[in-house]
Amino acid sequence: MPESRTVLRGGTIVDGAGSAPRVADLAIRGNVIEAVGSIVAEPSDTVIDVSGRYLLPGFIDAHSHADAAVFSNEVQRGLLRQGVTTVIVGQDGVSFAPGDGGYATEYFAALNGPHPSYTGGGVAALLAGYDKTTPLNVGYLVPAGTVRHEVRGYADGPSTPEQIAAMSALVARGLEEGALGLSTGLDYVPNILADTGELIALCRPVAAAGALYVTHMRGGYEEKSRIGIEEVDEIARATGVSVHVSHFHGPSDLLLGLAEELSSHGIDMTFDAYPYRRGCSLLAMPILPPALISGPRSEVVMKLGDPQVRASLLAEWFSTFDDNPLLGPEWADNLTFAHIAAEEYVWAHGHTISAAAARVGRDPASFALDILLASSLEVSTIMTVRNQRPYDELAELFTHPSHIAGSDGIYVGAHPHPRAWGTFAKFLRLFTRERGDFSWPEAAVHLAGHAAERFGLSDRGRLWPGYVADLVVVDPSIVEDISTYDAPRADAVGIDDVFVAGQQVLADGRLTGVLSGQGLRRSAPVK
């Protein structure tokens, strides 16, 4: 018996390849797009009238921390109502596989949260756990920090040739099992302990597989972005690997100049960036010395409780923040609590460190240490970048041909960053409909088509016959991000109907209960 067919009637096709929009029907049979054009309905067809709305390929979030959160109905709805059908996880060098997932649950608990089912088995088992268990697709990057921890534990110092060989073998195995590339987080432990030679060695199997090296660069971004780019340049020249820079933020003229320098050296580089002026990360990462937080969490907590260690931090370490490009002397005014694991401090969510400290009569540095100690380091913070760049400058980044949309969405916490619920709708509302920085065809390329090519998902990102039917129905006149810093978990509006692998997973703005997503395995070399 032939598979049933769904016909979306009369929508405007925005195909993800940059083609001019056109009014046409689109037929889905099974999990693929069967035809686009004038389609005569068959008696058994399900016909949905989408006239007046746009059909776009499902959006691909190039940088997501939904590794475990993707099983949550709230998160699923929040992503689908932005039009996101695929998330790329395993970011910033730390996630669940390889290994048993314990290290990620410990160190990245405030970013990724605990995984509900993965307890080991490597990349293959992790990807299999996403098959038909969620309405979204999940692509995975082998996280270099997790790999390092598997081989070296918490040890610092240079890696031996034998250790590097063992790490490289884990990377190669993850790629063979379907990973889309390798990620590093070079401001996080343990990747911050890895020298450039180690990273070059880990990128050799990535280059050999035609996969992608995705990096949270070393050195602090913003005005110091050249530090990270120079290391990217060295790694790419030594290995020939294609590079993708995570959450590229800073002065647009500097960043785009650095991107052009890499291109002039023959390096294949792309980047993701999100349409917000504030960041979000672990509180411990910017405000504690790397040497202090590089050991097991229990040992770090014990040190934070040591009066001598605490006195040294307060007297010497916090005074260095004045020259930090992400902190500065006003750091406590610019860090807002997003997630605090200590029940006695739940009242502080959404408050800056300085405001919360003042409420209990503490100085900000002492209060921040109190919070970290009480939460066993499980704290995240929204960071107000010192230079609040205007939208005109942000748009210079977004419209560059090397840009791919990514939210850096974090779903853990009582008061998360609104980018997790708003990034893709904000691109459509502000930078497409209102400002016109993107045309609709350009938006579809930046939000879907380019990412599919870049991450080796050769059968997605286009509304073409034969491609997997991941697609979204957008009302261009009302699509809008609703989430704000005060109310960050508000669903976007204007995208009410979404299909994943040919099945309708969102109808009239509600989850249908269909779980047609899967763990995506790399299907083609990076382009």
- Please check whether residue 393 is in contact with residue 252, taking contact to mean a CB–CB distance below 8 angstroms: yes
Q: Specify the amino acid at residue 356.
A: A
- Does 190 sit behind a cis peptide bond, omega within 30 degrees of 0 on the bond before it? yes
- Report the alpha-carbon distance of residue 242 to residue 211 in Å, rounded: 7
Give pLDDT, residue 459.
Answer: 95
Q: How far apart are CA 74 and CA 96, in angstroms?
A: 22
Q: Of 380, 334, 318, 375, which is closest to residue 188 (Cα–Cα)?
A: 380
Q: Which residues pair with 447 in a beta bridge?
A: none
Helix (H, G, I), strand (E, B) or coil at 89: strand
Sequence letter at residue 385: V
Query: What does the alpha-carbon distance between residue 462 and residue 259 come to, in Å, rounded to a whole number?
Result: 26
Instruction: Report the SS3 class of residue 310.
Output: helix
The pair of three-digit structure tokens given for residue 483, joined into one six-digit string: 């989430």
Q: What confidence score (pLDDT) does residue 389 get?
A: 84
| pLDDT at 270 (0 to 100) | 98
CB 42 within 8 A of CB 85: no
Q: Which residues of 419-449 are buried (b: 16+ CB within 10 A; e: fewer)?
A: bbbbbbbbbbbbbbbeeebbebbbbbbbbbb
Nearest to 434 by CA among 400, 463, 391, 469: 391
Claim: this prediction has a pTM higher than 0.75: yes
- Domains of the chain as residue ranges with CATH: 1-56+65-84+407-437+460-514 (2.30.40.10), 86-216 (3.20.20.140), 281-384 (no CATH)
The pLDDT averaged over each successive group of 10 residues in the chain (527 residues) is 88 98 98 97 95 98 98 98 98 97 92 96 98 98 98 93 98 98 95 95 98 94 92 98 96 94 95 95 92 88 94 91 75 95 97 97 96 96 82 95 98 97 98 98 98 96 98 98 97 98 98 98 81
Q: What is the pLDDT of residue 1?
A: 55
Question: Which one-letter DSSP state was computed for residue 69?
Answer: G
> SS3 letters for 205-254?
HHHHCCCEEEEECCCCCHHHHHHHHHHHHHHHHHHCCEEEECCCCCCHHH
Contact between residue 245 and residue 217 where contact means Cβ atoms under 8 Å apart? yes
